Structure 1
Amino acid sequence: MEINGNVPMKIDREEVWKSLFSAEAWKNAVQAEKFEQVGVALFDVAVMVDFAILKGLHDAQLMFNDIIHNYSSNFNVENKLVKTVEGTFELKHPDEVEPEEGTDSHPEGTRTILNYRLNMDAGNPLFNAAFEGFKHKIQEAFEEILARLETAVHY
């Protein structure tokens, strides 16, 4: 399952970048039990999940790679329930991104667009079908977390 989109933010590129690499910002945005930086771009995570077939406390590792400072980074999440979770974050100026369909402009005050791509493969056709069935909800939840990073940067 692949999802992608844009999250408009009222903070500048440097602040968005800072939040992407801040354990405290992610911990607040995800509402994680644990979100600890254990390497330069590696985080140990423990999150309580209650979504469809995923329930309980889940441990994972979030790793950033192919980092271009203040511009883009690939990431992957390792977790025992999902075979692969990988994606890309890219920071753009609002002039570089078309406004949301049906609108003439980005929300007032937008200074940075956080463009993302997220690809998930459960490694099981049944689970992949379940993910596809919840694709819209997963995208909404992911975008809500990313939007929370905007305020979490000022922890």
Structure 2
Amino acid sequence: MTARSERARRIGWFTVLSVASLLTVMCVGLLFAAIRNDNSIQAHLGTANATVESVAFDRTIIQYETPDGIVHSPANGVLYPSGLSAGQLVLIEYDATDPDLARVAGRSATLTLLPLGTTILFTWLIAAPLLWWLRRLIKRDRAAHPAPEPTEAPVS
């Protein structure tokens, strides 16, 4: 193989490692964000009955009224919405200092562990053999075409 193909394989190896590492860091960051949101809600806990307005793949929109009479509908939806359907009445917990931060009552960041854990697992189940294979090809290329030894100038 040529130096060009070895370089391409090295770039591929670093790319696979970078993408897998980035996905892992993003998943861990998402878990910490969910924990932070739960802690914010728990620190200033408010509860209300909410009506589920719409359910989409990316968010579930709810509408609820706080004790001060203001109706809230968080633009980002409710946290941990699995199993909800439009028109359903559900008990929610929200951050009294930031009513747009709401979650379904009784649910927490532990619900994110399974999807995030499986995402990390499958990422590395794909990346690890690919990294191993690319590393093996790189080593084989280096063994087949060793770098020339630098010649030393005679010392006078």
User: TM above 0.5, one fold?
Assistant: no
TM-score, normalised relative to structure 2: 0.23
Structure holding more helix per residue: 2
TM-score when scaled to structure 1?
0.23
Q: Which has the higher contact order (CA 8 A, sep 6+)?
A: 1
